[in-house]
Amino acid sequence: MTDNSSSSVGSDDGIDADETTAPADDRSDASQPETESDDETERSLTLAGFHDACQRAGRPVLTAGGVARALEYPRETVDEQLEALEAAGEVESLSVSTDPVVWYPSELEDLTDRERVVVFPKRREIVVDRPEQFTRAQLSQFAHLADTNGENGYRYEVRPEDVWQAPHDSFDALARTMRQALGQRSDELEDWVESQWDRARQFRLVTHDDGYTVLEAQSAEIMGNVARQKLDEEHVHAPISETEDWVREGAEAAIKRVLYEAGYPVDDQRELATGEELSIELQVRLRDYQQTWVDRFSEAGEGVFVGPPGSGKTVAAMGAMAHVGGETLILVPSRDLARQWNEELLAQTSLEADQIGQYHGGQKNVRPVTIATYQIAGMDRHRSLFDDREWGLVVFDECQHVPSDVYRRSTHLQSRHRLGLSASPIREDDRQTEIFTLVGPPIGTDWEALFEDGFVAEPELEIRYVPWGDDEQANAYGSADGREKYRIAARNRGKVDDVRYLLSAHPDSKALVFVDYLEQGRAIAEAVDAPFLSGETPHHERRRLLEEFRRNERELLVVSRVGDEGIDLPTADLAIIASGLGGSRRQGTQRAGRTMRPAGGALVYVLATRGTREEDFARKQLQHLGRKGMTVREQNVDIED
């Protein structure tokens, strides 16, 4: 078996020609090229001035007209002085089809070796080349890292939710942070950010002296034009005044969701139960970024910790528990995760065994810290047990599931503090905004920073295009329709040979092989002589196999979809995704994340049947990780006879 045709999956920074000129107000005297006279016609164009023009235009090459527009110089002057710079060897020219000549610096490293920030206010995007750590830290306070090309290029988006949850007490403080990050003042972008800042302060939920909940608006106009247009009798009983409505009991989460979707996040200031006091001390020291997460959570009282697998979200959540100092309910997707939370709490905190209870199909104990499954907590016959107890904090683990109909019912459990945890709070049904309305705003550190600082290893990702293992499956694929095509491609028997090849190529690696289909999992497990861990595997057997893998007593496991989120898989050196490419971007994140740990050298191989829709699925799933800073390669696979 051999590999060939290597290439890379990249991304486009998306810079449009119609937004390349910085606002005139942004041009301070210090940024202007040196001049010899006040007369415009005598302005001297230097190489530094040419670099400034490139920065304002957002391009490394410019026409003479582009330089003239960016610097507001006469076109005739620019033509003459560009020729002078070319004669001096400082810039070069190239004839192109769309314009007579474009110009660029002779030493392009002068342009690329330093940090450069380009702002696109209309698109609310910021493109940064070679950003310093300070710049990225400032940007993370009001912008979202949307894309990176893996070569020091970063694209940030300023979204409404980023402004709504910015960690500042005033807009002036936020504006100062923006100017520090951008190195300039962008009036158009600041005006939009200020409008969003104001939107986040138009509504709040408060507790009336008589105990019921009231929705308050900043003005009668905003109450009438927004809230009373969007809400109905399912949400509120009746108006109390021009700016106040009496909220129906249990409708708070729905009101927050409706107004959030209308572009008005609600400030929840209800006097919710804080629960009985419970002293919790951490036995480990939080990393700096984890402490930042906890500090931002403590200011808001709610939020979602977002970080890659291996970044320590669970430990940070324990830091939040210690801060709250009250009885805590932890909601998880499965009983396996409940057991693992129990073990981590005993190992990482001062809690004793009799202070922690589990409530699911295997155990039913409610204690000061209770770990329950979403399904159980949402059932009417069990929910009263949780409703009757006053929780100081509710933790929603793997909170990307919260918008689903089954899990959403658990969000009716109200607490003064709510905390979600997720490696990838995205949903293919585009309901991810509901995560932040039902739980809290996102709090996190961009993945690239964690990779650079060595807290989490960046795995190497490779898509491998595998030929059909036999003509029978290839012919069946050709005559199949829709979903059946996907199933046939996913179970391509040629993948069994490639799994064997990859395992033989990495004989010293601890490996996990992921599959979506039981039949395929059994075939691969038999071919490589390894256990197959699936939903059919009894809980005690799962536990034994995982412990053996964790203790390095077992080097290989084949795992079904049960390993994506329902259990805490140990980290591995090698992950092979044999099927599951039609799954979500979140699933790709979870599976790649099984190799993320401080030690480097991890590999992730994704097998896709060549010439089928699996190729597109693989790119879609992994481009999400590529935008987080990981390098993604592609390989064609040939199977030798």
Window from 318-332, 348-362, 622-636 with minimum mean pLDDT: 622-636
Residue in 279, 284, 365, 261 with CA at minimum distance from that of residue 327: 279
Two tokens, residue 561: 């979809």
Tens of pLDDT, residues 110-152: 545 678 888 999 999 999 888 887 788 788 889 988 877 656 6
Assign 308 a pLDDT band (cuts: 50, 70, 90): confident
- Three-state DSSP state, 447: helix
Strands 102-105 and 91-94: what pairing?
antiparallel
Handedness of CA 476, 478, 480, 482 (dihedral sign): positive
402-425 in b/e form (b: 16+ CB < 10 A) is bbeeebbbbbbbbbbbbbbbbbbb
* Integer Cα distance of 330 and 341 in angstroms: 9
Average pLDDT over residues 460-469: 88
- DSSP assignment of 64-99, as one string? HHHHHHHHT--HHHHHHHHHHHHHTTSEEEE--SSS
Residue in 135, 141, 120 with CA at minimum distance from that of residue 186: 120
Two tokens, residue 109: 């490293």
Which residue carries 């830290």 as its tokens? 137
For residue 56, pLDDT over 80 is answered with no
Q: Which residues contact 133 (CB under 8 A, 6 or more apart)?
A: 449
Please give the residue that has the higher pLDDT: either 32 or 435: 435
Average pLDDT over residues 361-383: 82
- DSSP assignment of 280-327, as one string? --BSSPPPHHHHHHHHHHHHHSEEEEE--TTS-HHHHHHHHHHHH-B-
Residue in 458, 429, 464 with CA at minimum distance from that of residue 579: 464
For 518, the enclosing helix (H) or strand (E) is helix 518-528
For residue 446, pLDDT over 70 is answered with no
Contact 116, 55 (CB under 8 A): yes
The overall average pLDDT reported for the chain is 78
Assign 167 a pLDDT band (cuts: 50, 70, 90): confident
Q: What is the pLDDT of residue 229?
A: 95
For residue 637, pLDDT over 70 is answered with yes
Cα separations (Å) of 81 from 51, 87, 94, 263, 601? Answer: 14, 10, 16, 50, 51
DSSP 349: B
Residue in 94, 99, 97 with CA at minimum distance from that of residue 66: 99
The architecture CATH gives domain 17-112:
Orthogonal Bundle (1.10)
Q: Do domains 288-445 and 457-638 have the same CATH topology?
A: yes
Cβ count near 39 (within 10 Å): 8
Give the predicted TM-score (pTM) of the model: 0.55
Q: What is the pLDDT of residue 353?
A: 95
Tens of pLDDT, residues 6-45: 443 333 333 233 333 333 333 333 333 333 334 443 467 8
Window from 61-75, 121-135, 574-588 with minimum mean pLDDT: 574-588
* Class in CATH terms, 457-638: alpha beta
DSSP 223: I
Q: What is the pLDDT of residue 424?
A: 67
For residue 407, pLDDT over 90 is answered with no
Contact 458, 451 (CB under 8 A): yes
Two tokens, residue 121: 């206010």
Question: Domain map of the chain by residue range?
Answer: 17-112, 123-199, 203-264, 288-445, 457-638
Cβ count near 640 (within 10 Å): 7
Q: What is the pLDDT of residue 271?
A: 78
The architecture CATH gives domain 288-445:
3-Layer(aba) Sandwich (3.40)
- End-to-end CA distance of the chain, in Å? 9
* Integer Cα distance of 394 and 414 in angstroms: 8
